Amino acid sequence: MFDAVKEAAQKFGADFQENVALSKLTSFRTGGPAALLVQPNSCAALQEILAACRKENARYCVIGNASNLLVSDAGFSGVVLRIGPAMSAMEDLRNGRVRCEAGASLTALCNFACRLGLSGLEFAFGIPGTAGGAAYMNAGAYGGEMKDVLVACSHVSPDGKLEGFTGQGLQLSYRHSVYSDTSYVITELELQLKPGDPEAIRAAMNENKRKRAEKQPLEFPSAGSTFKRPQGYYAGALIEDSGLKGYSIGGAQVSLKHAGFIINTGSATTADILALIAHVRKTVFEKYGVLLEPEVKYIGD
């Protein structure tokens, strides 16, 4: 199965594995197996691997650090393309401009910018995703978002072309980009940052990390904030005021530390988490007339 995809990966020395438990990769620590997991190590490799998927009519999905992802308990019977450590190079383009591959972790990218004395990414320190994932969803925290610094993205289109978007073409808005509505695979980002004092940048990064540890249930597997912020409200406050703090279904629980987080207390299945998401949405809607929109993405059979 997927022989052409494996051959394309082998040609470029890209790692691939069959029947991989996705629960080991997702931050929720749930999900069944991927029939084939491939980790492209260059744009050229990604282009040929996608061409092989088309040739074999193979279903595929793209993941990064899987920190905002729910995978079906049945897994995914197609090809999972992980844009991760094998595509994580970073480069100083001078004059505050930084380029990085999509698989670079946000933490590594923030540290890189800090070493260069470049400010603007402090908000992202500690977000457990990749640069590509952050661009895909316009990730943000503590008053900042990717929209503030992202100026260009390169991608491979479903038909294998290497293309890109810049400026307004990125269509960045709250937890959304042009990529949210397409099947393009982000390969590189360019960021415009500002000169700053490395010590002050590091202090701001550490303060954000401290606030995360203080307010968020980082000791449990989760996908961060489960729901997008509804206009005029805070999801966590609506959930807590609905009496749902600590509510559980199976091993999934509305966090006692922050009601905006659904956590895996140790034995949760994806089905448990989905059932709890549905219950929270129904309860909040019945009480406040606000329909919460999940921030977490779902893939699988």
The domain spanning residue 194 has which CATH number? Answer: 3.30.465.10
Of the residues 175, 188, 242, 255, only one is catalytic, namely 175
Question: Contact at 8 Å (CB) between 21 and 73?
Answer: no
- Same domain (yes/no): 290, 240: yes
Residue where one domain finishes, among candidates 53, 68, 85: 85
Q: Decide if 225 is catalytic.
A: yes
Q: Which domain holds residue 75?
A: 3-85
- Same domain (yes/no): 244, 271: yes
**Cα(106)–Cα(113) distance, integer angstroms:** 10
> Is residue 288, in this structure, part of any structural domain at all?
yes
Residue where one domain finishes, among candidates 163, 182, 215: 215
- Same domain (yes/no): 201, 249: no
- What CATH number does the domain containing 45 carry? 3.30.43.10
- Same domain (yes/no): 96, 172: yes
> Is residue 61, in this structure, part of any structural domain at all?
yes
- Same domain (yes/no): 207, 164: yes
Q: How many domains does the structure of the chain reveal?
A: 3
- Same domain (yes/no): 240, 153: no
| pTM summary value | 0.92
- Same domain (yes/no): 45, 132: no
Per-residue exposure over 99-130, b if at least 16 CB sit within 10 Å of its own CB, e if not? ebbbbbbbbbbbbbbbebbbbbbbbbbbbbbb
> Is residue 241, in this structure, part of any structural domain at all?
yes
- Same domain (yes/no): 25, 78: yes
Task: Please list the pLDDT of the chain residue by residue as tens digits (301 residues).
Answer: 899 999 999 999 999 999 999 999 999 999 999 999 999 999 999 999 999 999 999 999 999 999 999 999 999 999 999 999 999 999 999 999 999 999 999 999 999 999 999 999 999 998 999 999 999 999 998 889 999 999 999 999 988 899 999 999 999 999 999 999 888 999 999 999 999 999 999 999 999 999 998 999 999 999 999 999 999 999 999 999 999 999 999 999 999 999 999 999 999 999 999 999 999 999 999 999 999 999 999 998 8
> Can you tell me whether residue 163 is helix, strand or coil?
strand
- Same domain (yes/no): 52, 155: no
Q: Decide if 175 is catalytic.
A: yes
Of the residues 225, 242, 255, 281, only one is catalytic, namely 225
- Same domain (yes/no): 146, 198: yes
N- to C-terminal Cα separation, the chain = 17
- Same domain (yes/no): 76, 98: no
